Structure 1
């Protein structure tokens, strides 16, 4: 249990998750089996996607996605530097080069399509937009870039499960789910996500050719899974060298229980975001990210940007003093020791965001009284 009076995130767990785990124990099948298959089917229905594949975590999902579309040595992959490092790591481990684009603005910290267009070279293979905090990137513009240059799009939807895309210009159908817009979408079910299993991830795609490769690559390149072979005579073939990125039955069963709660939980998160937005309206020192897009957000993160790094530090200290936990999503990847000497891109908006942003508590069980207290504390910072 957290020692914070108001923790950043709290699991929305109950008897449903306990019963799901007990169901698996009672069936005595722990590896990828009927729970995983049901989880994939139910997730595909949510996404309106033809194919969904459960995997061990979202990093595995990103790795599989890149391997599936043939990203390798000599290729460049354009992506934001405001993200968890997994996407950049997987690009490097695929043998390709991450090319970092700036974000749109301090209050819209998703990848800037105009900068993306400037970074394209003959070596560019893919674009990996990240839907920050549950708020979708400018997908219509990014899709047009991909179409114009023949690029693959891999959506990093780890923050955006259950969110749909709304484009006021009508260039992408309203209601298209995050992760189901590009060629492949990747999701995370890490312990702090809207759909939390502790570990686990998912890939979705409408492309049959990619689905066939993902299915085999996920499990050693096998043409048939252990569950498919269970109780039947017969063998299997290894069609290509693959990985062991399977999800187990316990995590899948818990994921199914969480999936039932997802949309209601996201709706509650949006209510709390609206409360934050109204409370911070007109604040001189603080800007809420995506304040005008609350109605379409998955509500994964609540982030404010201070007018300077000193204000940010003062806000963190003031909240800590009353027992409110905060965090930062994310440090710029370009500032990590393993990246800053290899990549010299100058991304000024990214740099400012990383120095001035604070992640505030947001989860379905957060009270409006705590939201009001947090807002009052920030507004009092001098």
Structure 2
């Protein structure tokens, strides 16, 4: 048996980077044009083609994509926007930045941690102008249902698709605007970076203009002599993506679907082992649910000391995390918008533990994670977690 000190750490997430990415960055440096240019435009077009949409707008983060999305659909001061609390804080903070009020909505259930249509309907007011849905962990939302909900109530539909890049046919298809993330822990990465898809062509071009200070000519246009001078037609932002990030994106994007398929395979392995070894630990969503498999969330048995379990797993060199602390519980949101009770969201958070998932893992790594979780639950005295033996490791370990 390998001593614990000699075991490699199984990371929660790990970007796949190599010589192709290095070469792409070298080429940008050799070209000498670092700011938004031809590579950014090619990345936008390639991303749009992969997802089956007309066009896309590259920006420097998913947060800026969300901020532009709200602007594109007309959210402004005095409005209310229905948002999940089970999300990264940016989903709500961009609403505040727009001068609007985030209205937190509960999830459907622990097995379906998406925004609840019923609870969203109950929280509508005359000031509600938009709803933001989020494909949690990369699992697609029911787009047709949310499109009907938005249309029935005269709302804009915005999709925080930070977890769901590379899920064509299930994201960016029915929303008025969809925002994607290329942060370093996402399914593909440009280090920082994001992409915005806007359905309406006029709103899309308005968002593209706002990305760079609402200037009517870009730096590249002026450098090439295609435009002389410029006008400023609105209060814009500096949300531009640079050529270095776009170069990374152009290398990563062609491999995204393959990486997502591997993530789904590994998720299936987790489901099988957990059902066999730790049946009281549930993986949300049905196995056939369309997903980019960004995260592997597990619900621990009620009464488990999650902090103690995570500490034991960290000592065994397996990283874990929690996705997410509910936004409505954060001090800023409680003090500004009052206490909100979201019973299902709170229960989900209190039991959720995120296990490692990325293309560099192999099925045998999944077996080690499950064994480590089983040991940690036994050591910490978690209730009702009797285990069976985890199957022997499989030979394959990594993927490129």
TM-score of the two chains, using structure 1 as the length reference: 0.93
Structure 2 residues not aligned, in runs of 5+: 1-6, 379-400
Tell me which residue corresponds to 1:65.
69
Matched, 1:212 2:205: yes
The answer as to whether partners of 2:62 and 2:162 remain within 8 angstroms in 1 is: yes
Tell me which residue corresponds to 2:301.
307
1:4 Cα deviation (Å)?
Answer: 6.6
The answer as to whether partners of 1:55 and 1:246 remain within 8 angstroms in 2 is: yes
1:314 Cα deviation (Å)?
Answer: 4.3
Question: What is the number of equivalent residue pairs in this alignment?
Answer: 368
Matched, 1:159 2:153: no
1:338 Cα deviation (Å)?
Answer: 0.8
Name the SS for the 1:304 alignment partner.
Answer: strand
| Residues in 2 aligned to 1:285 and 1:325: alpha-carbon distance in whole angstroms | 21
| Residues in 2 aligned to 1:309 and 1:57: alpha-carbon distance in whole angstroms | 37
Tell me which residue corresponds to 1:170.
none
| Residues in 2 aligned to 1:116 and 1:28: alpha-carbon distance in whole angstroms | 50
Tell me which residue corresponds to 1:202.
195
| Residues in 1 aligned to 2:8 and 2:146: alpha-carbon distance in whole angstroms | 40
The answer as to whether partners of 1:277 and 1:291 remain within 8 angstroms in 2 is: no
| Residues in 1 aligned to 2:41 and 2:147: alpha-carbon distance in whole angstroms | 31
Q: What aligned pairs does 1:240-255 form with structure 2 within 5 A after superposition?
A: 240-255=234-249
Matched, 1:140 2:134: no
Matched, 1:94 2:98: yes
Q: CA RMSD in A?
A: 1.6
Tell me which residue corresponds to 2:390.
none
* Cα deviation code 1:262-287 (max 9, x no counterpart): 01100110010000010111534311
The answer as to whether partners of 2:73 and 2:176 remain within 8 angstroms in 1 is: no
The answer as to whether partners of 1:102 and 1:349 remain within 8 angstroms in 2 is: yes
**Cα distance, 1:293–1:79 mapped onto 2, change above 3 Å:** farther
Tell me which residue corresponds to 2:216.
223
| Residues in 1 aligned to 2:279 and 2:55: alpha-carbon distance in whole angstroms | 47
Structure 1: 4+ residue segments shifted above 6 A: none
Matched, 1:77 2:81: yes
The match for 2:18 among 14, 18, 21 is 14
Name the SS for the 2:368 alignment partner.
Answer: helix
* Cα deviation code 1:336-360 (max 9, x no counterpart): 1111233322100111111110011
The answer as to whether partners of 1:113 and 1:138 remain within 8 angstroms in 2 is: no
Tell me which residue corresponds to 1:186.
179
Tell me which residue corresponds to 2:259.
265
1:61 Cα deviation (Å)?
Answer: 0.7
The answer as to whether partners of 1:135 and 1:293 remain within 8 angstroms in 2 is: no
| Residues in 1 aligned to 2:146 and 2:322: alpha-carbon distance in whole angstroms | 26
Tell me which residue corresponds to 2:52.
48
TM-score of the two chains, using structure 2 as the length reference: 0.89
* Cα deviation code 1:186-245 (max 9, x no counterpart): 011101000111101010123111112111110111122122233215222212121111
Greater Cα radius of gyration, structure 1 or 2: 2
Structure 1 residues not aligned, in runs of 5+: 165-175
Tell me which residue corresponds to 2:384.
none
Name the SS for the 1:194 alignment partner.
Answer: coil
| Residues in 2 aligned to 1:89 and 1:39: alpha-carbon distance in whole angstroms | 27
The answer as to whether partners of 2:212 and 2:240 remain within 8 angstroms in 1 is: yes
